[in-house]
Amino acid sequence: MWLDKLTSSQARAVDALAQRCAAADEVDPLNEEARFARSAGGARHRLIERGDTLAAYLTWSEAHGTAQLAVDPARRRAGLGSALLADLRQATRPRLWAFGDLPPARGFADHHGLSPERTLLIMERRLDDLPPGGPPPAGFTLRGFGDADAPALLAVNAAAFAHHPEQGALDADGLAARMAEDWFDPDGLILAVDADGLAGFHWTKRHDADLGEVYVIGVHPRAQGHGLGRVLLNAGLARLRGAGLRRVLLYVDSAEAVAVELYATTGFHIAHRDVLYAPRTEELR
């Protein structure tokens, strides 16, 4: 049975299942999008229990048309993942994320006639050898975020990521949810402003005492071509290093050649990949 909302006990069971998977696989089976959707709505859920334990879980975002799947390491190779995928196939054309694209995930996808449709690169670098950062382009200044900047931030984000199926859909509720997270720091959300208003931003994220993230960099199309993205990148990296962090990661779509080149020339290397798998041939409902 599909669920539109999880109870608090079911949500805790999902968290515990994800932790068991992450301990075994060294990669989390569920991403931030899935966790926000679980509390804010916008996703459907399938759970398979064995006794008092959640053995397998699938979450499907109807808005994005993607799903995420987790099976308890102690319950694998027993058909639970296949059963959840069959349920998903009855509801929609299955498009399934494989975080880390581990060999078992590739084998599962191949067995079920799924092939890579989209790839996210997870890139990393150390922060102890940053390149020197330059000043903002003429006419631009950098500053931290204030609550009054929220509407402009959403507008720039929508314009910068009009082509992006997840990031471009960020709305006021999604922004508020992220601002309510423990890691949110308004000074770590660096804004680039010119005479016409907000032109771009670099939203940094702190994971722990060692690791930070280039969470989002967005530049409005009207301000592109000035090197603003590189300036914002360098400013965010410098802030993370100044906070005592030693490493930084980021996620970027492999199809975004300009962004991948920017990060590669700034010392980032590919650590691993997240792959979205979909049917090799179009499936009919």
Q: Rounded to whole angstroms, how far apart are CA atoms 201 and 217?
A: 6
| Superfamily for domain range 8-112 | Gcn5-related N-acetyltransferase (GNAT) (3.40.630.30)
Fold matches, 8-112 and 124-273? yes
Q: Where are the alpha helices (DSSP H) in the chain?
A: 8-25, 32-40, 80-91, 103-111, 150-160, 172-179, 228-242, 257-264
Helix (H) or strand (E) holding 270: strand 269-279
Specify the CATH class of 124-273 in words: alpha beta
What single DSSP character describes residue 122?
E
Could you list the pLDDT tens digit for every one of the 285 residues in the chain? Answer: 899 999 999 999 999 999 999 999 999 999 988 988 776 677 999 999 999 999 999 999 988 899 999 999 999 999 999 999 999 999 999 999 999 999 999 999 999 999 999 999 999 999 998 877 788 999 999 999 999 999 999 999 999 998 877 787 889 999 999 999 999 999 999 999 999 999 999 999 999 999 999 999 999 999 999 999 999 999 999 999 999 999 999 999 999 999 999 999 999 999 999 999 999 876 544
Domain ranges of the chain: 8-112, 124-273
